[in-house]
């Protein structure tokens, strides 16, 4: 499996970039389609390592035309990583209709269509791997995350059913559920609640983007060929005591 086509959504995030690096090391001859929303420059240095082996696709999944264009470019994908998501945190009465719509449209609708698009070619090849980046929020209730947590709950249930539906065709579908990872939105929380966040983890440190990337690469490797339909937490013991 040296000449895979690997697609990664949300690839310009810290976690996304770390995943790109890990998978490039695992599959150095693969062709990469790297999706981002608005920061293609963040991927330019990473893509430069691939020479002719990759492309950056900037697409807003809230835009139907942009999403449709992106789908056309991933129809022959062998490995798909779904890391794109919209996160809006607020108590439910404070979430406006637009914020709710965006989370549902990107985290559920676009995610579903992306998975639907890659399945036919995987079925034809009798092999394929999908890794979906969920969140500990799907299984641990947190204030201010009602809709976001709901979309990740959908992702995990969807993953189990898709694995059951196509496992017999050689397609594996798994989820990763990160907890307190020192990246993205958590960095803002650390500015004023660092000690509280650190105390929520059983281990004496927070997670890193590389921690998530290592697990992603493992699930995409030949070492994980009997893991299917699972959600694997990577949270340092964040669930402890709950």
- Rounded CA gap, 110 and 133, in Å? 14
Beta strands per DSSP E along 44-147: 54-58, 79-82, 128-133
Burial class of residue 48 (count of CB atoms within 10 Å of its CB; 0-12, 13-18, 19+): exposed
Q: Which of 148, 154, 166, 192 is catalytic?
A: 148
CB-CB contact of 228 with 172 (8 Å): yes
Q: Which residues contact 127 (CB under 8 A, 6 or more apart)?
A: 1, 78, 170, 171
Determine whether 148 is an active site residue.
Answer: yes
User: Going by DSSP bridges, is the β-strand pair 128-133/171-178 parallel, antiparallel, or unpaired?
Assistant: parallel
Q: Which phi and psi (to 5°) does residue 34 adopt? A: -110, 115
Positions marked catalytic:
148
């Amino acid at each position: 499996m040296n000449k895979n086509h690997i697609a990664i959504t949300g690839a310009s995030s810290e976690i996304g970039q770390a995943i790109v690096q890990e998978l490039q090391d695992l599959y150095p001859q693969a062709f990469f389609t790297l999706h981002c929303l608005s920061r293609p420059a963040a991927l330019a240095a990473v893509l430069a390592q691939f020479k002719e082996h990759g492309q950056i696709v900037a697409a807003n999944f809230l835009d139907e035309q942009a999403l449709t264009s992106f789908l056309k470019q991933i129809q022959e994908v062998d490995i798909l990583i779904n890391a794109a998501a919209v996160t809006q945190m607020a108590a439910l009465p404070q979430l406006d209709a637009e914020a709710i719509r965006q989370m549902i449209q990107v985290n559920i609708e676009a995610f579903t269509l992306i998975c639907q698009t890659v399945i036919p070619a995987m079925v034809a090849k009798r092999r394929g791997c999908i890794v979906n980046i969920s969140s500990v929020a799907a299984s641990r209730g947190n204030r201010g995350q009602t809709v976001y947590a709901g979309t990740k709950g959908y992702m995990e249930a969807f993953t189990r059913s898709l694995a059951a539906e196509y496992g017999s065709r050689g397609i594996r579908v798994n989820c990763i559920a990160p907890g307190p990872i020192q990246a993205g939105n958590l960095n803002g929380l650390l500015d004023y609640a660092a000690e509280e966040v650190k105390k929520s983890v059983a281990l004496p440190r927070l997670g890193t983007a590389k921690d998530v990337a290592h697990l992603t690469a493992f699930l995409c490797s030949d070492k994980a060929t009997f893991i299917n339909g699972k959600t694997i937490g990577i949270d340092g013991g964040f669930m402890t005591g709950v």
